[in-house]
Amino acid sequence: MATPMDEDTPVIDEDMQSRQMAVYGRESMQKLRKASVLISGLNGLGAEIAKNVILSNPAAVTLHDSKAATVADCGAHFYLSEADAGKNRAEACHQMMQELNPGVRVTTLAGSFPTDLSGYSVVVAVDLTLEEALLADAACRAATPPIAFIRADIRGLAASVFVDLGPSFTCLDPTGESIKSAIVEHVVVVEEKDGATKLRIQCVDDEGLDLDDGDTVTFSEVKGMEGLNTQGGLLVSDCSKGKKNFVVVVPAPAATLGAYTSGGLVSEVRMPKQLAYRSLHDFLLSPGDLWEVDESKMAPAATSFAEEFLMVMGSPAANVRYGRAGLLHLGFRALDEFAKTHGGALPQPAVEAEAQAFLKLAEQLNAANDADNKVMQLDEAPRRTALLQLAAGADATLSPMAAIVGGIAGQEVVKACTGKFHPICQGFYFDAFECLPDSPLPEAEFSPAARAAAGRYGSQVSVFGSSFQRQLEELNVFLVGSGALGCEFLKDLALMGVACGGAGHLTVTDDDVIEKSNLTRQFLFRNHNVGKSKSLSAIEAARRINPSLKSTPLQDRVAPSTEGVFNTAFWSKLDLVVNALDNIKARLYVDSRCVFFGKPLFESGTLGTKCNTQMVLPHLTENYGFSRDPPEKEAPQCAVHNFPHNIDQCLVLAQSEFVGNFDTIPRETADFLAKGPAWVDELRKANENESTILDKLRGDPRVHCGMSGGAYDLLIAERSATWPACIGWARRKFESYFTHRIAQLLHNFPPDATTSNGVPFWSPPKRLPKPLAFDVADPLHMQFIIGAANLRAFMLGITPPPDCRDPAALTAALAAGTGAVAVHSFTPALDASIETDNKEEDAKRKAAAAAAAKPEDEQIREVVAELAAARATLPAGFALKPNEFEKDDDANFHMDFISAFGNLRARNYGIEEIDKFAAKLKAGRIIPAIATTTAMATGFVCLELYKHLAGRPLTARRNLFANLALPGPLLMLSEPMPCPKIKSGARFDPDMYMDVDEVAYPEGHTLWDKVAVPNASKLTLGGFVDLFKSEHKLVLQELMLTVGDKSQMIYSVTLAQLAATSEANLARPLVELIGETTKKPLTPATAFYPLTDIVFATIDGDDVKCASVVLQLDW
């Protein structure tokens, strides 16, 4: 749904753009909607930039090109086909570019580079000559206001990006991180000097403040020291104690601030940053501060920390003179000069004379540089080789490089239009020459004839050779997921020719369907695909990119339940697996299967402007599951239910109440209606306690404050058959949630209450609440009533009137205040069993209440009898329809209820409210996502595919962490961690949190190694025990089998209670025991079975850390 704005403010379709808005924010998206971008040069890189920019949703994009398409362009340009050869590239891809986003006006220009650039916000130049680029940059700088100019090029496995945002550019948000805030716990005056006061601030521990020195903060709600609330932005220094303790200096005497007593909020202020850009001409002569992507590629003097490097280390000259970035800057300048002196042509591979001419130009340019800009150690073999590799691939446009640079340059366009995130200052260089073999290829591999014969793969053949291309085409690849990452991977793989020949094959699986919000980044899909299978639609689109693609789309989730589909035969034929998943559980499962079957896994993930890639290589690296992020911190339940101090905690309760009222309760009530009293017996058999059963039946009247809950609410207390009754229920719910519950809380803990230690009960982080008085004139109050009433009606099968969204219509229904819409007066409960942060006092209060109450089993019998009687009076056909939470349907009232509830709860506690879209992001756990980051991540993964196929060593492989929001942009490449070898001796056990002595078997094994048990289909458990004792000198101690989420012991020598069972099981066949215990019989289709929960000891009784044990079922 579009957000209503004034006439001058662009309208944003929030349903479509929700994932992008989660990254950029509404204001930046509105700025983008006013932007007009010119993209010149529609080769593969230009197409990538255009795709990413169009998906970012500007007002207009103009595509310009002076060149005709060639067959070789099809190797990197996803919207050109062989049939387009000879056509202008911009015009040939215009229609497909327009279909990417019908809301963007896409036009084309042919002929020479336009001289009139007025009306454009940003000009992007790809494959433009140096003379044209210099003129274009000068014209952009001379414009009023200046037009942003970006020049981007890829030359084989090397890339260059130049950014000029004019003499003065304001970066409004240099990091893009969420604004930090916290509750003040204490303020101490450190010193007073020269009319200023130094204060040390301590914040409460459970707030994620994480300030850094140099940040700016403001204060509010400080009591006693009220003068601090009016000081504006103050600089932070001396951060310590988890960054929750810091110093600020206030430019005022302490006496004017007051004496601190309690409370206060501290909030970060995001300060703009002014940047001054130099022209392209000046940059070429003196590039300034260049980001070094991979420090291992720096000059020998830098990697050895020689004295000559130490003298400049830390200055811009260090990377210019000794860095790979400085070397590439010189190399790209030399390519410009080469093209200038060779009629626009670039060096060709294996043409020695052209390579030497290029080297000579580089040396001449370097000789003319001043001392700070002179590239050092040009004669060193690694530096000279890199320049020759740049020249050899100069005329090649590779799909992975286009994806990487297209993501980076596309993000720079967005930064230029919005001021959001830190732009490049001013140049960026990157290469992936480590993809190349150490020894030169035979010239026949990439001769002109070989490149011509390769057709669309000509560029790839010119870099890697024709034999390598055939290997790509023969690959058998499994792509798991076809969402945002999956679409980009499919595009890259199709362009590269993966699985496009011989016995090659690509299997793609995804059990999801396409939604409207997917279209802004899952670029293979269009409006007509909404509601269709992702995998089927993605494969159809990929085959349009490369009709030779041999692929099978599946709609099965890769999980234990589908091991019959993805069986041993399937996994065994794979060459590699590419994950394109968006949840950790699925990633871990695919990772475990790759480890089991010994398959390489190419892993990646994105989060807004951030992305990471990880290469999981059999017997070389650790696996994806080896290291885990710490679990997400959850708010304490007492804070959520009674003492919230931020909007997130308010929304947690809002979503919980949505699920309880409109999903859980109707489902459980339907179960009761179907089964009657027998339902209660089933709950008891499932080990539900009496309190939980009672809550499901009628809720807790002390918590519901005058209203019932559970089945009793639906069938007796609030049985609704009309629309006015639904309105009345919603009105009473408002009173219960936002008036009575708060009144009950204050009845239990008055404002002046103290703890047993004499400390004020309402101390930070607790916030003293106040009840709300319902007001039909308050839009938020009516939003809650409208949402709750419509959800109630849907659940009960009541058709609301046409004006069910009209506040005026509901106001009229509420006006009487009697009958169906009557509200109960508040009567304090004797004990509301409210949880606090003092568990001892909570327990005493609950125990006293329980002792005085009627026995719960008796209460259950009484309620069941009432509900059974009510069931007999229900009309024929009575049915309940649960509401399963769906965040992306703006017409279903789900977010209306949740956002209104969350904000009303925040209003109770004086917490800052947020709009409905922000609530949707939080409650819906929407993952921020943009096309630029996704494209870049997949490009880096595909570079690793080149390395893997070329058999490059681990030292040449790279994992990536990147953040396009930070200057550089921040790209960090690192060698994958090798898999640790398990050796005998002391080992730290993270589960036991102590060192344990173990014997490794076999010695030095890794997670990739296995102990195979042959002929296991004919083996009894006793035979298994004897086999390990005789052949491996290991004594089986315990064997457990996984049953769902639990493990069941089938053999133990240590547990006396299992002695008889263990003895009996020894004579039974292993396959029979496994099938019976797991309820999943093994069949001849199962060739291998892992025993994951198994414990051995040596014959001498020492503990053993054994490699994975795998049964070979030779049926």
pLDDT per position as a tens digit, 920-979: 999 988 889 999 999 999 999 999 999 999 999 999 999 999 999 999 999 999 999 999
5 or 79, higher pLDDT: 79
Q: Hey, CA dihedral for 360, 364, 365, 369, is it positive or negative?
A: positive
Q: Is residue 992 part of a domain?
A: yes
User: Residue 1 — pLDDT band, cuts 50, 70, 90?
Assistant: very low
162/190 same-domain check: no
Residue 759: the pLDDT is: 87
Q: Is residue 1018 part of a domain?
A: yes
Where is average pLDDT lowest: 6-20, 24-38, 329-343, 510-524?
Answer: 6-20
Residue 1110: the pLDDT is: 95
Q: Is residue 939 part of a domain?
A: yes
Average pLDDT across the chain, whole number: 92
CB 472 within 8 A of CB 459: no
The CB-side HSE value for 763 (13 A sphere, CA atoms) comes to: 14
Is 638 a residue of the active site? yes
CB 431 within 8 A of CB 158: yes
Q: Is residue 439 part of a domain?
A: no
Residue 845 has pLDDT above 70, yes or no: no
CB proximity list for 377: less than 8 A, separation 6 or greater: 299, 300, 301, 322, 383
Determine what percent of the chain is predicted with pLDDT higher than 70. Answer: 95
What are the structure tokens assigned to 485, written together? 């990452």
Residue 4: the pLDDT is: 38
Residue 843 has pLDDT above 90, yes or no: no
* Number of domains into which the chain is organized: 6
Q: Is residue 502 part of a domain?
A: yes
Q: Pick the closest to residue 484 from 506, 528, 514 (CA basis).
A: 514
240 or 485, higher pLDDT: 485
The distance of Cα 538 from the centroid of its chain, to the nearest Å, equals 21
Residue 837: the pLDDT is: 61
Q: pLDDT digits over 351-410, tens only?
A: 999 999 999 999 999 999 999 999 999 999 999 999 999 999 999 999 999 999 999 999
What are the structure tokens assigned to 761, written together? 């009960």
Residue 831 has pLDDT above 60, yes or no: no
Quick one: average pLDDT of 710-725? 91
Residue 702: the pLDDT is: 63
Burial string for 468-506 (b: 16+ CB within 10 Å, else e) reads bbbbbbbbbbbbbbbbbbbbbbbbbbbbbbbbbbeebbb
Q: pLDDT digits over 744-772, tens only?
A: 999 999 999 998 888 889 988 899 999 99
1009/1033 same-domain check: yes
Q: Cα–Cα distance between 240 and 213 in angstroms, integer?
A: 10
At residue 732, the 3 state secondary structure works out as: helix
Determine what percent of the chain is predicted with pLDDT higher than 90. Answer: 79
66/96 same-domain check: yes
Residue 598: the pLDDT is: 96
942/1015 same-domain check: no
CB 758 within 8 A of CB 809: no
Residue 147: the pLDDT is: 98
Q: Cα–Cα distance between 778 and 61 in angstroms, integer?
A: 43
Q: pLDDT digits over 398-413, tens only?
A: 999 999 999 999 999 9
Q: Cα–Cα distance between 263 and 220 in angstroms, integer?
A: 9
Q: pLDDT digits over 613-656, tens only?
A: 999 999 999 999 998 766 666 777 888 889 999 999 999 999 99
Residue 852: the pLDDT is: 55
Listed in order, strand segments (DSSP E) in 686-833 are none
What are the structure tokens assigned to 1052, written together? 């133990």
Quick one: average pLDDT of 135-152? 97
Q: Is residue 383 part of a domain?
A: yes
Give pTM, 2 decimals: 0.91
Q: pLDDT digits over 150-166, tens only?
A: 999 999 999 999 999 99
699/848 same-domain check: yes
Burial string for 687-707 (b: 16+ CB within 10 Å, else e) reads eeebeebbbbbbbbeebbbbb
Q: Tokens 């940040």 appear where?
A: 215
User: Residue 847 — pLDDT band, cuts 50, 70, 90?
Assistant: low
Q: pLDDT digits over 6-52, tens only?
A: 447 788 888 888 899 999 999 999 999 999 999 999 999 999 999 99
Residue 241: the pLDDT is: 66
User: Residue 686 — pLDDT band, cuts 50, 70, 90?
Assistant: confident
Burial string for 577-606 (b: 16+ CB within 10 Å, else e) reads bbbbbbeeebbebbbbbbbbeebbbbbbbb
Q: pLDDT digits over 985-1041, tens only?
A: 987 776 667 777 899 999 999 999 999 999 999 999 999 999 999 999 999 999 999
851/893 same-domain check: yes
Quick one: average pLDDT of 96-104? 96
Q: What is the DSSP letter of 663?
A: I
Q: Find the CATH number of the domain harbouring 420.
A: 3.40.50.720
Q: Tokens 């402007």 appear where?
A: 609
CB 487 within 8 A of CB 474: no
778/886 same-domain check: yes
Q: Cα–Cα distance between 385 and 378 in angstroms, integer?
A: 10
Residue 755: the pLDDT is: 86
Residue 5 has pLDDT above 60, yes or no: no
Q: Pick the closest to residue 761 from 868, 843, 638 (CA basis).
A: 638
Residue 1079: the pLDDT is: 86
Beta bridge partners of 191: 198
CB 1112 within 8 A of CB 1058: no
Residue 187: the pLDDT is: 95
749/891 same-domain check: yes
Please name the amino acid found at residue 1004.
G
Q: Cα–Cα distance between 480 and 586 in angstroms, integer?
A: 10
Q: How many CB atoms lie within 10 A of CB 638?
A: 17
Q: Pick the closest to residue 651 from 835, 837, 911, 834 (CA basis).
A: 911
Domain that holds residue 230: 181-269
770/900 same-domain check: yes
20/148 same-domain check: yes
Residue 1091 has pLDDT above 90, yes or no: yes
CB 934 within 8 A of CB 484: yes
Q: Is residue 423 part of a domain?
A: yes
Q: Is residue 563 part of a domain?
A: yes
Q: pLDDT digits over 433-488, tens only?
A: 999 998 888 999 999 999 999 999 999 999 999 999 999 999 999 999 999 999 99
Q: Decide which of 269, 293, 314 is a domain's last residue.
A: 269
826/902 same-domain check: yes
Residue 687: the pLDDT is: 84
108/133 same-domain check: yes
Catalytic residue among 93, 417, 425, 638: 638
Residue 850: the pLDDT is: 60
Quick one: average pLDDT of 490-511? 97
